[in-house]
Amino acid sequence: MIVALALGLALAIQAWLVKPYQIPSQSMEPTLDVGQRVLVNRFLYRLSDPSIGDIIVFHPPAGAEEGAQCGVAHPAQEACPQPTEGKSSENFIKRIVAGPGDTLSVRDGHPVVNGVEKTDEPYTNPCGNGSVCNLPKPIRIPPDHYFMMGDNRGQSDDSRFWGPIPRDWIIGKAFATYWPPKRIGIF
């Protein structure tokens, strides 16, 4: 009986409060390395809105896990303005760089939000010369949507390719790393 109760409690905690996730790719380097494990607060966004700079786990649009999939045709000099209709069952982890109602373009891999370029990003790797490092034509983030970018800007498939995601696709905010031991810490 005690074992069943403990197992039930552990499952309830993972379902509603805190869940562990493993980093599957290099898109968040140098902040998070491949194989690193993080804890995600699944309850926080029931009480408050996500914020710019939050590292979150979410479901991407359908097709994002197979490569770039934008929900609409758009000019090459513009980030994807709209995701596909369906959400994927996969989980991604990225950083929020723009929120509902913001205008966004990209310069040298840095988000330009509402006309202000965010260049003070010591947690990012340089973008390089990729096609999504400079997207000068601004888009407007739809209501209740968030625009994500990986910290490894030249090696991240993110909202630049598949668009902003709806708030209800967000699973939670990553708040701590617990593996490997040398990287234990709070964000």
Three-class SS state of 9? helix
Q: What is the mean pLDDT of the chain?
A: 90
Catalytic residue among 88, 94, 156, 159: 94
For the chain, count helices (H), then strands (E). 3, 12
Residue 1 banded pLDDT, cuts 50, 70, 90: confident
159 counts as catalytic:
no
* pTM of the model as a whole: 0.89
Query: Domain coordinates of the chain in residue numbers?
Result: 20-186
Whole-angstrom distance, CA of residue 151 vs CA of residue 114: 20
Would you state the CATH architecture of domain 20-186?
Ribbon (2.10)
Active-site option among 27, 88, 105, 156: 27
> Residue 66's pLDDT is what?
80
User: Confidence class of residue 104 from pLDDT cuts 50, 70 and 90?
Assistant: very high
Q: What values do phi and psi take at 180, rounded to 5?
A: -75, 165
Is 94 an active-site residue? Answer: yes
Q: Is 48 buried (19+), middle (13-18) or exposed (0-12) by CB count in 10 A?
A: exposed
The tokens describing 63, both together, are: 């097709």
